[in-house]
């Protein structure tokens, strides 16, 4: 057995996003089960720093045509909405703080340079850590490229993503320079591999870290069943009226309750007659997927957990290109293309639900990719 190594991961570990948190936890747990000493670098970019009210309010309202008009509108946002945002963040913070270890908090690249946390190996990923769309003017968030880490230290990327098919031309040379400092790189999508290939950087595609964990681990985290009756779960990253109407009609036709999970408080007013849950805890979110009769979603990770829990599911209304790419990669990899809603009709949804998923074949394909990814990571660490 190889000796225990100190490994630090940098990813979006303080996000208000179910998939973001669960992919982070999945990689952490996998490394921990390998016998490694693992921590997250607690890096909180300005745009995510809800700990600092003034900074967070300015960051959010500056992008809003309504709240960013003047000081008074910003003050009102801070008074009326900020407390709710903090409350909605709480379940995500609680989940991570109770299950994983962190370094001290860092709020900038400069802080990481001045007081670099020490480790044997540094890992970037997973998630869209290299997506410049998240930053004003398509700038680069240098900590996610491990620019603060000394050249003598091993640097690995696991399932990192650019979140799109190309990167801004002005960033290409710098991205190439930074990523050539890595010892081994894996990405989440083929599009990421294509971007790196143009830079003459070798990489491979691996599975999302949530897939590295055994289903039994997610079973143990999921809450007990929350609803005694049969139900259809609708979870949309971006609310789509057409998909909502389809879900409502299917629930009525099957005489089942429609449960809606959302991170956007406004969705409570878009679906007044249904059971709308705003930002339930992560164990509850997993439970609602685990026990649903049908899951309807545009979310990559809700699709992953529907597969892991062997639930009937429909992939619907995938709007953003980056999200579309990874969901299509997942469906293609597992030969589940028929699970995608094609024409936004109840008939098409029923077509999907009436055809059974070949779970044995699906799991055989999944386990093959899972084994390859785990082996790749093990070899990258032990080189």
Contacts of 366 (CB under 8 A, 6+ apart): 207, 211, 307, 333, 334
E strands, the chain, in order: 6-10, 37-43, 102-106, 121-124, 154-160, 184-187, 204-205, 231-235, 257-262, 275-278, 294-297, 312-315
* 215-363 CATH pick, 3.40.50.2000, 3.40.30.10, 3.40.50.920, 1.10.10.10: 3.40.50.2000
The whole-number average pLDDT for the span 12-40 is 96
Domain boundaries, the chain: 6-213, 215-363
Mean pLDDT of the chain: 90
Instruction: Check if the beta carbon of residue 183 is closer than 8 Å to that of residue 149.
Output: no
Answer whether 6-213 and 215-363 agree in fold. Answer: yes
Q: Is the pLDDT of residue 25 over 80?
A: yes
Please give the torsion angle defined by the CA atoms of residues 196, 201, 204 and 205, in that order, rounded to the nearest 10 degrees.
-20
Distance (Å, rounded) from C-alpha 59 to C-alpha 50?
10
Q: 70-107: buried (b, 16+ CB within 10 Å) or exposed (e) per residue?
A: eeeebeebbeeebeebeebbebbbebbeeebebbeebb
Q: Domain 6-213, CATH 3.40.50 — does that match?
A: yes
Of residues 85 and 345, more confidently modeled: 345
Distance (Å, rounded) from C-alpha 71 to C-alpha 52?
17
Q: 311-334: buried (b, 16+ CB within 10 Å) or exposed (e) per residue?
A: bbbbbbbbeeebbebbbbbbbeeb
45: which 2 tokens? 């970019």
Distance (Å, rounded) from C-alpha 196 to C-alpha 31?
25
The whole-number pLDDT of residue 82 equals 77
Kindly list the distances between the CA atom of residue 145 and the CA atoms of 6, 41, 237, 332, in Å, as whole numbers in the listed order.
19, 13, 27, 29
Distance (Å, rounded) from C-alpha 147 to C-alpha 35?
27
* pLDDT tens digit sequence for 234-252: 999 988 889 999 999 999 9
* pLDDT tens digit sequence for 322-379: 556 788 889 999 999 999 998 889 999 999 999 999 999 999 999 999 999 999 999 9
Contacts of 200 (CB under 8 A, 6+ apart): none
Q: pLDDT class for 67, splitting at 50, 70, 90?
A: low
238: which 2 tokens? 């971006």
Give me the phi and psi of 259, to 5 degrees please: -105, 130
The whole-number average pLDDT for the span 184-213 is 96
Q: pLDDT class for 1, splitting at 50, 70, 90?
A: very low
The whole-number average pLDDT for the span 301-317 is 95
The whole-number average pLDDT for the span 166-180 is 94
């Amino acid at each position: 057995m190889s000796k225990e190594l100190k490994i630090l991961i940098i990813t979006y570990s303080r996000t208000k996003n179910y998939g973001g948190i669960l992919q982070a936890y999945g990689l952490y747990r996998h490394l921990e089960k390998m016998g490694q000493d693992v921590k997250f670098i607690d890096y909180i970019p300005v745009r995510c720093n809800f700990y600092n009210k003034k900074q967070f309010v300015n960051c959010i309202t500056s992008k809003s045509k309504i709240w960013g008009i003047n000081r008074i509108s910003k003050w009102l946002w801070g008074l009326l909405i900020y407390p709710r945002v903090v409350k909605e963040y709480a379940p995500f913070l609680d989940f991570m703080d109770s299950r994983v270890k962190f370094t001290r908090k860092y709020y900038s690249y400069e802080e990481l340079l001045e007081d670099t946390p020490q480790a044997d190996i540094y890992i970037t990923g997973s998630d869209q850590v290299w997506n410049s769309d998240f930053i004003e003017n398509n700038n680069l968030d240098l900590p996610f490229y491990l620019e603060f880490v000394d050249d003598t230290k091993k640097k690995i990327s696991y399932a990192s993503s650019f979140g799109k098919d190309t990167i801004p031309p002005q960033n290409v040379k710098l991205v190439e320079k930074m990523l050539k400092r890595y010892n081994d790189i894996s990405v989440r999508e083929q599009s990421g591999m294509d971007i790196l290939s143009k830079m003459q950087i070798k990489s491979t595609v691996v599975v999302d870290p949530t897939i590295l964990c055994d289903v039994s681990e997610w079973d143990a985290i999921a809450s007990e069943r929350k609803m005694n009756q049969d139900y259809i779960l609708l979870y949309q990253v971006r609310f789509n009226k057409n998909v909502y109407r389809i879900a409502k009609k299917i629930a009525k036709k099957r005489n089942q309750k429609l449960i809606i999970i959302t991170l956007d408080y406004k969705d409570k007013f878009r679906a007044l007659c249904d059971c709308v849950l705003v930002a339930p805890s992560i164990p509850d979110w997993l439970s609602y997927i685990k026990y649903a009769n049908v899951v309807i979603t545009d979310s990559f990770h809700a699709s992953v957990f529907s597969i892991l829990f062997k639930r009937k599911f429909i992939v619907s209304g995938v709007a953003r290109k980056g999200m579309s790419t990874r969901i299509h990669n997942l469906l293609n990899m597992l030969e589940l293309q028929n699970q995608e809603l094609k024409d936004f009709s109840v008939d098409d949804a029923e077509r999907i639900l009436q055809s059974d998923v070949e779970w044995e074949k699906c799991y055989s394909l999944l386990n093959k990719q899972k084994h390859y990814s785990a082996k790749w990571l093990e070899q990258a660490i032990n080189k």
